[in-house]
Structure 1
Amino acid sequence: MQARDVADCVAIVNHIIALGGSTAYETPFSGDGFAAHYLGEPPVSNVVLRGERIVGFQAAFDVGDGHYSIGSFTDRRAPVRGAGRALFDKTLADCRARGGVAILAKITADNAAGLAYYRRMGFEDWQVWPNDHTRQDGSMVDRIVKRFAL
């Protein structure tokens, strides 16, 4: 991911936020906020293209002890089959090259699509963090932590 990719990535994630139900994020990103979080923080951040169009992005944040916490978003307006797999294959290789021992996916329990995606990628259930996320309406949601050993 590069600075020139920010606007396309913001459009993808903000559309997902607007749809609701498949991300913990509930407030849309600004370009600067997105760049600070997804370009400034993670040591691994990738986009996937169809032709020259960005159809998804994924980042892996270093959370210590060789563990990376992953976030994945693909275009829901014009989905491209295989985009999530392509992203994960690249992110997996990048985390391994950095000497990582595992990738974690922290998904809210109400995100059925996210839970299914990480299960398809080979992640295993690892932990449940009860009432770890508070929705804007005040409801509490468990966070399911899935782990992929490197």
Structure 2
Amino acid sequence: MIVRPVLSSDAAELAELLNAIIARGGTTALQTPYTAEALDSAYLTGPKVICCFVAVDSETGQLLGFQTLGRLDALPADIGDIGTFTRVDGIQRGVGSALFAATKARARELGLTALNAVIRADNVGGLTFYTRQGFIDHDIVRDVPLSDGTRVDRVWKRYPL
């Protein structure tokens, strides 16, 4: 596996990856599928993106996942908001951790003081992943409605840099 900065040319494959996660449901707060252009602007190379890395299968060239760090209006400028997405069609052991190593290093280079992650309370895998990386619970926003009316808490976790 190779971890490298994202390119706009990765957007189509990453939109497919993210849309599969959205279609499966139950783990991401995102509910509307993305076009390649919309994903690129929102999470890959757009104006609110601090950095974004992709994990690439070194044998096949397939993109295994991506991790984006962006600006969130609710956070101070020295805290980045992180999101991690990996393929749903198989076990992606080590992808998230490899992406996090790159994101964390870049965030430190840029002088950020902390990373923030907002995870659905029913996303056990996501909560476990961020806890294993060293994130600690910071806040809970209760009863956030999904597009179908289901109400789910959001756990805000923080990683001090």
Task: Give the TM-score taking structure 1 as reference length.
Answer: 0.94
The Cα shift of 1:119 comes to: 0.9
Q: Which of 34, 40, 54 is 2:63 aligned to?
A: 54
In the other structure, the counterpart of 1:145 is: 156
Map of 1:1-80 to 2, 5 A cutoff? 1-38=6-43, 39-40=45-46, 41-51=48-58, 52-63=61-72, 64-80=76-92
Indicate if the aligned counterparts of 1:6 and 1:31 stay in contact, CA closer than 8 A: yes
What RMSD over aligned residues (CA atoms) do the two structures have, in Å?
Answer: 1.2
Quick one: distance in 1 between partners of 2:41 and 2:93?
A: 29
Q: Does 1:84 align with 2:84?
A: no
> Percent of aligned pairs with the same residue?
36
Quick one: distance in 2 between partners of 1:78 and 1:115?
A: 19
**Aligned pairs, number:** 149
The Cα shift of 1:79 comes to: 3.0
Letter in 2 for 1:96: R
Quick one: distance in 2 between partners of 1:62 and 1:144?
A: 18
Quick one: distance in 1 between partners of 2:36 and 2:57?
A: 22
Quick one: distance in 2 between partners of 1:113 and 1:29?
A: 23
SS in 2 for 1:143: strand
Deviations 1:120-142 (A, max 9, x none): 111111111122x3112212221
Which sections of structure 1, spanning at least 5 residues, go unmatched?
none
SS in 2 for 1:80: coil
Quick one: distance in 2 between partners of 1:78 and 1:139?
A: 28
In the other structure, the counterpart of 2:3 is: none
Letter in 1 for 2:79: H
Quick one: distance in 1 between partners of 2:152 and 2:8?
A: 33
Which sections of structure 2, spanning at least 5 residues, go unmatched?
1-5
Quick one: distance in 2 between partners of 1:9 and 1:143?
A: 24
Task: Give the TM-score taking structure 2 as reference length.
Answer: 0.88
Indicate if the aligned counterparts of 1:55 and 1:79 stay in contact, CA closer than 8 A: no
